[in-house]
Amino acid sequence: MARTFSTAVQNVIDSENRIKYFLLIKLEFSTTYYLTSFSRDITWDSQTWTSDGGLFEVAAPNFSSIVDREAYRVVLTDLDETLMEEFKTGVVGKNITDYAGFLDSNGDPLVDAGDIVPVYKGYVDTPAVEIDWETKTASIEGTSPMSDLDQIKTIKISRDGMDQFSSDDTSYDSVFEDNESVLGWGKI
């Protein structure tokens, strides 16, 4: 599937030797955080994306031709411990969305509706706060599209086992009953 760009973005791609871009990161925790890597605040999608929100590092999403569990990582400074408090209340499974925007030849951000490109959408898998002598950072690892391959779900196989999903389903009702079935096998 080919990605299409707005006319303004396509003009930048076609005319610039070195494409300049910025990122927009949306973290949907107990409070929704709108962060940008640009040097000043940006208004897009009826929101102000703040440049002083502590966005420290964003790993490039990994594209893979094999089934693997590559994750997506965002690192933020957390000097006021806002994110540490969010992590304590629980952020695993909360939404992370990342967009890329482009700068025109004057260095101004292109922020029309079609100018911003979605880069990543996933869920928090592993939050961590790292403290050293000089910085305090909060790292958020997002799930990969293949993360569910590691998931283990158990189902209780008993007469009442299906009740955990649907009380109307009777498929397990005769699990422990002595039922005999005769199947024809081979040539008749």
Q: What is the pLDDT of residues 47-104, one digit of tens each?
A: 999 998 788 888 776 655 555 556 778 888 887 888 889 998 999 989 999 999 999 9
Look over the chain and give the mean of its residue pLDDT values, rounded to a whole number. Answer: 81
Total number of domains in the chain: 1
Q: Is residue 159 part of a domain?
A: no
Q: Is residue 15 part of a domain?
A: yes
Structural domain containing residue 99: 7-148
Q: Is residue 74 part of a domain?
A: yes
Q: How high is the pLDDT of residue 151?
A: 54
Q: Is residue 161 part of a domain?
A: no
Q: Is residue 180 part of a domain?
A: no
Residue pair 72/142 in contact (Cβ under 8 Å)? The answer is yes
Q: Is residue 141 part of a domain?
A: yes
- Nearest-10 Cα torsion for 9, 13, 16, 21: 60
Instruction: Give CA 178 to chain center in angstroms.
Output: 48
Q: Is residue 87 part of a domain?
A: yes
Q: Is residue 171 part of a domain?
A: no
The pair phi, psi for residue 85, each rounded to 5°, is: -65, -40
- Nearest-10 Cα torsion for 42, 38, 15, 4: -60
Burial state string for 39-78 with b = 16 or more CB within 10 A and e = fewer than 16: eeebebeeeebbbebbbeebeebeeeeeeeeebbebbbbb
The pLDDT of residue 148 is above 60: no
Maximum Cα interatomic distance, the chain, rounded to a whole number of Å: 82
Q: How high is the pLDDT of residue 38?
A: 93
Among 175, 91, 70, 176, residue whose Cα is nearest residue 140: 91
For residues 183 and 96, the model is more confident at: 96
